[in-house]
Amino acid sequence: MPGPASSFTDLLSKQRTVAPPGYNRWLVPPAALAIHLSIGMAYGFSVFWLPLSRSIGLTQSVACPEDMSFLSQVFATSCDWKISMLGWMYTLFFVFLGSSAAVFGHWLEHEGPRKAGVAAAFCWGGGLLISAFGVYVHQIWLLWLGSGIIGGCGLGLGYISPVSTLIKWFPDRRGMATGMAIMGFGGGAMIGAPLADILMRHYATPTSVGVWETFVTMGAIYFIAMICGAFGYRVPAPGWQPEGWTPPAQNKAMITKRHVHLNEAHKTPQFWLLWGVLCLNVSAGIGVIGMASPMLQEVFAGKLIGIAKAFNDLAPDEKALIATIAAGFTGLLSLFNIAGRFLWASLSDYIGRKTTYFVFFTLGIALYAFAPTAGQLGQIAVFVGIFCVILTMYGGGFSTIPAYLADIFGTQFVGAIHGRILTAWSTAGVLGPVLVNYIREYQIDHGVSRAQAYHTTMYILAGLLVLGFICNLLIRPVSERHYMTEEELAAERKLAHEAGARA
């Protein structure tokens, strides 16, 4: 008789997730959204930085002695953490998201999305619990380990878990389907950040800033939501097609009907060109996100509140006022980032993936290059509009890539190939901010004014988009020798528990 453990494993198996005839495919995107909305909170983690930076001092930060080494600060329980130490969490998120997606993608293709979703729930929810303990005992390494490393692995697994499944359910609208899920990742912080704020205020006492209690509550909420999402996953039966839909009879050169093996994909130039496309689009986007708010404040300064003053001449209360306006600007950019994820990916179903990225890069180059001029002309509305459009294309770059991969490499390994491509995101997560910060510091150190310093940075980011444009332009269909043979495909489908599937 099978034990409870084997029954649970059986419940998670790929065979158990095969949808019965007549299953409504529109049930799969909400399951994917439940997972992506949960892990998307990673973007909103900065809401914890300020309370965590005074978790010992409560009302104000208690600085560590100046001669204290970095290692001692990591284990110290008598002084507060610096925001720069907490900021390491973002680097860990990006790095472990990309690496876990790359490493576990193949496993996901064989074991199915439900098992990956459950593993992601344990990593993300459990990681938050470890972080809660870290806050409670004031050990920052537990936060890095819990949320950053273990949680980061949950991010990677959760992020790629629905991709392959959605593409198989929506062969007629690949872009829209994956766009919906990836929109959720962008939207997660919109729910998580205000929720965390409410919870921290609720739990705050004269002896606690309320963060560890918030981590426990959110860990539990996300665990439940992700488990519900994972159990909502269903894979289509072998050979399933949407009712009334037939694959286009006319072959489209940029959409293959064949499949490239995961171990073969990275040997093709197309893989690296797509890696470059994603990395360059995201690097430029991350650079702009980091700059948008300070740029608005320093370029327009007093003009934002109707007074003719440069940024350095503003009084503290005036600076506080424009900081509030800039926070509104950041919020507006998040909305456009989310909208772009769905809209551009959906549009790519009609205009094609290569054309979509062609628009991202050409329009992007023009807008990045024109933004400083809009600032110089004092056109606030044009300046804000430019950044909003740029942010839609940043989001669109993430959400259109899975469908682009499916078009180029086929659907058999698309989830795993997507996982490997996400290392481009990890790279961009480090490259983008470093590039922007160093260029800016270098210019300011050499006497360039704060407002002017942004100009060169924007032109350099536009230069990254030129490189991305070239990468996209060079993408052609994969050479015949890289595709799997019918025998290889049949053997792979047997391994992936898809016996009886059509080629």
- Binding positions for another protein, rule: CB under 8 A: 22-24, 26-27, 30-31, 33-34, 37, 184, 187, 190-192, 194, 232, 324-325, 327-329, 331-332, 334-335, 338, 384
Residue 34 or 431: the one with the smaller Cβ distance to another protein is 34
CB of 22 or CB of 206, closer to another protein: 22
Closest to another protein by CB, 17 or 61 = 17
Please say which residue, 193 or 489, places its beta carbon nearer to another protein: 193
As given in the structure block, the two tokens for residue 283 are 């690097």
**Residue 215 near residue 131 (C-beta atoms within 8 A):** yes
Tokens describing residue 408:
């180029």
Q: How far apart are CA 466 and CA 7, in angstroms?
A: 53
* Least gap, CB of 11 to another protein (angstroms): 19
Contact 147, 127 (CB under 8 A): yes
- We find the least distance from the C-beta atom of residue 16 to another protein, in angstroms, to be 18
What is the rounded distance in angstroms from the CA atom of residue 115 to the CA atom of residue 395? 27
CB 18 within 8 A of CB 237: yes
Minimal distance in Å, beta carbon 349 to another protein?
20
Rg (CA), the chain: 24
With contact defined as beta carbons under 8 Å apart, do 183 and 399 qualify? yes
Residue 193 CB, shortest distance to another protein, in Å, is 8
| Residue 65 or 328 with smaller CB distance to another protein | 328
Q: What contacts 102, CB < 8 A, 6 or more positions away?
A: 156, 419, 420, 422, 423
DSSP 150: I
Q: In the bound complex, what is the minimum distance in angstroms from residue 334's beta carbon to another protein?
A: 6
**Of 269 and 328, CB closest to another protein:** 328
Token pair in block for residue 9: 């494993």
Q: How far is the CB of 35 from another protein (least distance, A)?
A: 10
Distance of CA 186 to the CA centre of its chain: 7
Of the candidates 311, 298, 228, the residue with the CA atom closest to the CA atom of residue 33:
228
Nearer Cβ to another protein (192/432): 192
Q: Are 50 and 201 in contact (CB under 8 A)?
A: no
Shortest CB 388 distance to another protein, Å: 10
Question: Cβ 325 to another protein, closest distance in Å?
Answer: 6
Report the residue number, 357 or 398, with the smaller CB distance to another protein: 398
Rounded Cα gap, residues 288 and 348, in angstroms: 24
Environment class of 103 (CB within 10 Å of its CB; exposed 0-12, middle 13-18, buried 19+): middle
The CA distances from residue 461 to 151, 168, 432, 479, in Å, are 30, 36, 9, 32
| Of the candidates 118, 122, 158, 131, the residue with the CA atom closest to the CA atom of residue 216 | 131
String of DSSP letters for 32-55 = HHHHHHHHGGGGGGGGGHHHHTTT
User: CB of 327: closest distance to another protein in angstroms?
Assistant: 6
Q: For residues 98 and 232, which CB has a smaller minimum distance to another protein in the complex?
A: 232
Q: Minimum distance from CB of 416 to another protein (Å)? A: 26
Rank residues 128 and 416 by Cβ distance to another protein and give the closer one. 128
Residue 330 tokens read as 């950041």
Query: If we measure between CA atoms, which residue out of 300, 287, 456 comes closest to residue 376?
Result: 300
CB of 328 to another protein, least distance (A): 3
Of the pair 6, 324, the CB lying nearest another protein is at 324
Please state the closest distance from residue 478 (CB atom) to another protein, in A: 36
Instruction: Output the 3-class SS for 374-421.
Output: HHHCCCHHHHHHHHHHHHHHHHHHHHHHHHHHHHHHCCCCHHHHHHHH
- The rounded distance, in Å, linking the Cα atoms of 406 and 416 is 11
For tokens 């700059």, name the residue.
Answer: 291
Q: Nearer Cβ to another protein, position 112 or 187? A: 187
